[in-house]
Structure formats: structure tokens, C-alpha cells
Amino acid sequence: MAVSPPVCDFGWKAPDFRLPDTSGRLWSLDDIRGPKGLLIMFICNHCPYVQAILDRLQRDAEALMEAGIGVAAISSNDVESYPEDSPENMARLAAERGFHFPYLFDETQAVAKAYDAICTPDFFGFNADYRLQYRGRLDASGRTPGPVDARRELYEAMLSVAETGEGPRDQIASMGCSIKWKE
């Protein structure tokens, strides 16, 4: 069943964390943050909503990094119930795709809870002061990719954050599979 996160809580401060990437290196917000902002993306390997946008997500994340936005992806799913989302499979996906951003594992799910992450994908776009400015969707894609010429909503919003420190007031929530919580 598809779920959507709440609308953007403008100005909400990003909770810090220390999470390992697929090679075991620990990352914090300060390690990830770019000079013009930060994008935290809750994703996972198995979700059809994530799979449908992975090419676009990677394209936009890398373009945002070039624009001064730090980017990280986090997987918080219960890997006992969803072994496709294990750290080993995360490492495989990151290597196959050539991610230029860290793909972090939230084993305890504490970070997903601190962010109130709801689904995969769930995007949190912060300005340089770690203040939330975007919690919308990547684009018009759903379980299948949207049109080739779909408006790049996340990318455009985060460019605005990079330039002005503020995101757009009108945002359409992301949609995806619920985070797979541990019992």
C-alpha cells in the first residue's frame, strides 16, 4: 500500500546522526552537508517506487552535489524481513550504480524515527543551517517512471534552497512503500 509523508515543516532542524555507509565508514550531518545545503533521502533496494526513479534520483543527486548540496541516502528497513535491503545488497547496488553519495544503513531505525520518515522514497531538503525547506517528491513518477519530460521538482526546489536558503511553498508529497519497521 502506498503512503505519503506529511507536508514540509519549514524550519524544522535536522537531527544529527552517525551511520555507517556500505564500506563501514561512519557519517554525520557535518560530513555530508554541502556549503549550500543538504539532502537526506530515505530509500531502499526493493521498493518499486525507488526502483522506478533510481536513474532520475541518481542524476538529480549528482547534479545537486555539483551545485553545493550535500547528499546521502539512508536505508532503514528491517533486513530480517526484507533481506534485499541488507548492507551487503546495499553495497552491491551502490557499486553497480556508481553512487557518488553515501548510502547509509540505519540498523536500529532510530534515524528514520528521528526524521519521522514515512516511506521510500522520502526526501528531506535542508538549507545550509540544517533547516527543512523541502519534503516533496522527486517528480511525477510513481510505481513506474513518469514522463521523460517530467518536471524535476526535487532538483528545482533544492537549487532554490542553494541559491536563496528557502524552498518553494507549494510542494507535492512523495509517495512510496512504507518503511518496514521491526517488530
* DSSP summary character for residue 79: T
**Which helix (H) or strand (E) segment is 134 a member of?**
strand 132-134
Q: What are the chain's domains?
A: 2-178 (3.40.30.10)
Confidence (pLDDT) at 4 = 86
| Overall residue count recorded for the chain in this entry | 183
Q: From first to last of the 183 residues of the chain, give the pLDDT tens digit.
A: 688 888 899 999 999 999 999 999 999 999 999 999 999 999 999 999 999 999 999 999 999 999 999 999 999 999 999 999 999 999 999 999 999 999 999 999 999 999 999 999 999 999 999 999 999 999 999 999 999 999 999 999 999 999 999 999 999 999 999 999 998
* Global pTM value: 0.97
Confidence (pLDDT) at 7 = 81
Residue 108 near residue 101, CB atoms below 8 Å: no
Confidence (pLDDT) at 3 = 87
Confidence (pLDDT) at 165 = 97
68: left (phi over 0), alpha (psi -120 to 50) or beta: left
For residue 121, whether the previous peptide bond is cis, meaning omega lies within 30 degrees of 0, is yes
**Which helix (H) or strand (E) segment is 111 a member of?**
helix 110-115
